């Protein structure tokens, strides 16, 4: 099988108010914050990583940044991660730019696989006194940070094509088995039957899902979906380090009676 390239919110709100940036009770809905990149790779041993941001809008914005370990509902003030991100709060004027520094704190990390963290950007627009009847909203952007140990075998792009898939009929689920030390970030999965030109019969759209390294992850199929093992083809799309989307195609295997492979 191969892959090919295809085309704690209280603290946040208090911080914003302390900086005299107020959300109007009743400006149009549009995010102005721009972040360069789609994900960030932090190689072990590197001193720091630079993240570049900008304001593409016509009004100033306030940005708060922090990291979490996967729980997007976690209170930023209580989240403990082995990274420091500076500055944690900054203002961006129209067409303004800001570079942030991400530093690993030196804590021990797994050496046989990648570790996943998430960087968050909360954009709070400035209150425009002349626009009293428009709603102002805070926007939150989450992006992956992958800590990559030295000396991992293979590559992240190769890992995409090595994921194996199993059908668990009793549970109505498909299982992704990632035997590589790299994180596989799925954009979409399509289940198809190789009948009549390999046409899709049950497209499944997955957004922001992750198959952890050296792990198995299950996804539920839509009600009534029952692929016939041996005739089914599964296509999936995942992003590599450069943000390119790779497509992989594989047969779907049947799980044994004990639910393992």
Given 124, 148, 172, the domain boundary residue is 148
Same domain, 210 and 144: no
Same domain, 245 and 116: no
| Mean of the per-residue pLDDT values of the chain | 81
Given 97, 115, 148, the domain boundary residue is 148
- 157-214: per-residue pLDDT in tens? 999 999 999 989 888 888 999 999 999 998 888 876 444 445 455 556 656 678 999 9
Given 127, 148, 169, the domain boundary residue is 148
DSSP for 33-100, written as a single string: EEES-S-EEEETT-S-EEEEEEE-SSS-EEEEEEEESS-TTS-GGG---SEEEE-SEEEE-TT-EEEE
Same domain, 130 and 211: no
Contact 67, 78 (CB under 8 A): no
Per the structure, the count of domains in the chain is 2
Domain ranges, residue 221: 156-254
Same domain, 99 and 131: yes
Report cis status (omega within 30 of 0) of the bond before 87: yes
Contacts of 110 by beta carbon, 8 Å cutoff, 6+ apart: 149
- 217-231: per-residue pLDDT in tens? 998 877 767 776 766
């Amino acid at each position: 099988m191969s892959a090919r390239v295809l085309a704690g919110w209280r603290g946040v709100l208090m911080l914003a108010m302390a900086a005299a940036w107020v959300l109007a009770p009743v400006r149009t809905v549009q995010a102005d914050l721009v972040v360069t990149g789609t994900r960030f790779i932090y190689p072990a041993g590197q001193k720091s990583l630079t993240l570049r941001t900008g304001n593409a809008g016509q009004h100033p914005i306030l940005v708060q940044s922090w990291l979490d370990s996967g729980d997007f509902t976690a209170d930023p003030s209580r989240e403990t991660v082995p990274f420091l991100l500076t500055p944690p709060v900054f203002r961006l004027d129209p067409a303004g730019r800001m570079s942030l520094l991400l530093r690993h704190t030196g804590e021990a990390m797994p050496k046989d696989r990648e570790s996943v963290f998430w960087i968050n950007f909360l954009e709070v627009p400035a209150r425009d006194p002349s626009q009293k009847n428009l709603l102002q909203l805070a926007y939150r952007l989450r992006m992956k940070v992958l800590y990559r140990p030295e000396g991992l075998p293979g590559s992240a792009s190769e890992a995409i094509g090595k994921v194996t898939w199993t059908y668990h009929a009793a549970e109505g689920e498909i299982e992704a088995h990632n035997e590589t030390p790299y994180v596989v970030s799925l954009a979409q999965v399509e289940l198809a039957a190789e009948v009549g030109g390999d046409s899709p019969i049950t497209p499944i759209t997955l957004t922001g899902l992750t198959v952890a390294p050296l792990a198995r992850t299950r996804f539920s199929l839509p009600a009534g979906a029952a692929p016939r093992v041996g005739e089914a083809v599964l296509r999936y799309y995942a992003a590599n380090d450069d943000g390119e989307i790779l497509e992989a195609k594989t047969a779907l295997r049947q799980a044994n009676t004990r639910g393992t492979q």
